[in-house]
Copies of this chain bind each other. A is one copy, B any other.
Amino acid sequence: MKKMILDLVKQGKYSEAREEIISINVVDIAQLFEELEQQKLLVLFRILPKDIASGVFTHISSELQRCIVESITDKEVISILDELFLDDTIDFLEEMPANVVKKVLKNTSVETRRLINQFLNYPKNSAGSLMTIEFVDLRKEMTVKQAIKRIKEIGIDKETIDTCYVIDNNRILEGAISIRKLILSDDSTLLKDIMDTGVMFINTHDDQEDVAGLFKKYDFLVAPVVDNERRLVGIVTIDDVLDVIDQEATEDLQKMAAIQPSEKEYLKTSALLLAKHRLPWLLILMISATFTGGIIKRFEGALQSVMVLASFIPMLMDTGGNAGSQSSTLIIRGLALGDMQPSDILKVLRKELLVSGIVGVSLSAVNFLRIYYIERTDLLVSVTVSFTLFFIVVLAKVVGGVLPIIAKKLKLDPAIMAGPLITTIVDAVALIIYFTTATWLLRI
């Protein structure tokens, strides 16, 4: 199908391509557009029906959006914007350079321009920047019949009318009612008798992560957004929350891998910017690792007399790092999903002590068997290595389990207390234990 359309376009058979295109989903058309030459894409875009063109427009990359807006006439800009939901317009404008924003704003009504400016002022990642203003508002004195009539009049353009909101004369939120309930009720019933008055709402300044948490906890499909005076200003729908959930998980992952978080897709980010996101933490961690090097230097004498000690350093460091990452990953994720609270710190500590005991003893035993019986390492060296291994696993797991919780208590982001930082901390302590034990056991 896709290949066929691309072939038609290549041969210049635009109207035939158009016929095929309008039968597929706008998301798929948008994907197809990404593969077309700019010239051909513009021809094709202009002959699409207005509603499909707008749908495609919201789903293409911002580079393509920019190229289209720069090439089409002002009249065509208006016709696309007319069909767009306000939140999609905002998303698009946020990515555009000044000249494109100017061209777009010039072509909107005074009222839309006011709304756009208001939206662009909401803090990034707030409920306000996430919401849409397309909803149906009803009054509690209305009958079901009147309500349905109002929905029919204004509803066709609204992004979601599956839930309608009841407000008073000052636009203060009073309740909610689902379309489902409306059509299941008698025509003459008053809304105030069937509306849900205990409706939970979000403030425009709430963080999008908290909004996502509410949706997950209460299985919302949509939630009303109010301003500080409890006036209804918009709604957040679950499909926008879906993106937030992915975005927050990605952000946590990036922080856990010692990268400065960025929302931009990898393939669309320049090498220079990628390097900029990665360098700071690598530098910090590289310099911290010198402390570990300093410890080795301090014990150079011990090392020189029993050179074989050096060969176990990589294994000890790697195992400590891995053991710590396991714990910190589980705790960071648990905190992010709300499965655990900072007050659970003692439970976590107890659990990590137990787990690290089991894991530490097992690893130590396997290691002892291997290096003493198979590799025939000196007995005292084998004991030193195995003891340090046990200790390093316990230390790594306790530090890995507790540090993210402490970070959360200190209102820091737990995600930075992940593998890389834990490894650096544990490495240093572990080497001190290693060499101290060796000095003492091997009398060097």
Query: A-side interface residues toward B, CB under 8 Å?
Result: 23-25, 27, 148, 151-152, 155-156, 161-162, 179-180, 182-184, 198, 200, 215-219, 221, 238-239, 241-243, 245-246, 249-250, 253-254, 256-259, 265-267, 271-272, 274-275, 278-279, 281-283, 285-287, 289-290, 292-294, 296-297, 300, 303-304, 307-308, 310-315, 317-319, 321-323, 325-326, 328-331, 333-334, 337, 339-340, 344, 347-348, 351, 354-355, 358-359, 362-363, 366-367, 370, 393, 419-420, 423-424, 427, 431
Q: Which residues of B contact A354 (CB under 8 A)?
A: 271, 275
Stoichiometry, copies per complex: 2
Q: Tell me the minimal C-beta distance from A414 to chain B in angstroms.
A: 13
Query: Which residue of chain B lies nearest to A242 when distances are taken between CB atoms in the complex?
Result: B216
Which of B23, B314, B344 has a CB less than 8 Å from the CB of A289? B314
Q: Which of A156, A221, A249, A300 has the most CB of B within 10 A?
A: A249
B285 touching A319, Cβ below 8 Å: yes
- Complex CA distance for A278 and B359, rounded to whole angstroms: 8
Contact B311 A297 (CB under 8 A): yes
Those 7 A-B pairs whose CB atoms lie nearest each other, nearest first: A271-B354, A257-B329, A292-B314, A275-B358, A289-B315, A293-B311, A296-B311
User: Which of chain B's residues have a CB closer than 8 A to the CB of A329?
Assistant: 253-254, 256-257, 259
Cross-chain contact of A431 among B297, B314, B330 (Cβ < 8 A)? B314
Known A27-B218, A333-B253, A358-B275; contact A183-B313, beta-carbon cutoff 8 A: no
Question: For the complex, would chain A's binding face be called helix, strand, loop or mixed by DSSP majority?
Answer: helix
A43–B307 Cα distance when bound, in Å, is 70
Q: Are A259 and B318 in contact (CB under 8 A)?
A: no
Could you tell me the distance between the alpha carbons of A182 and B323 in the complex, rounded to whole angstroms? 58
- Name the residue of chain B whose CB is nearest to the CB of A331: B266
Nearest neighbor of A354 in chain B, beta-carbon distance: B271
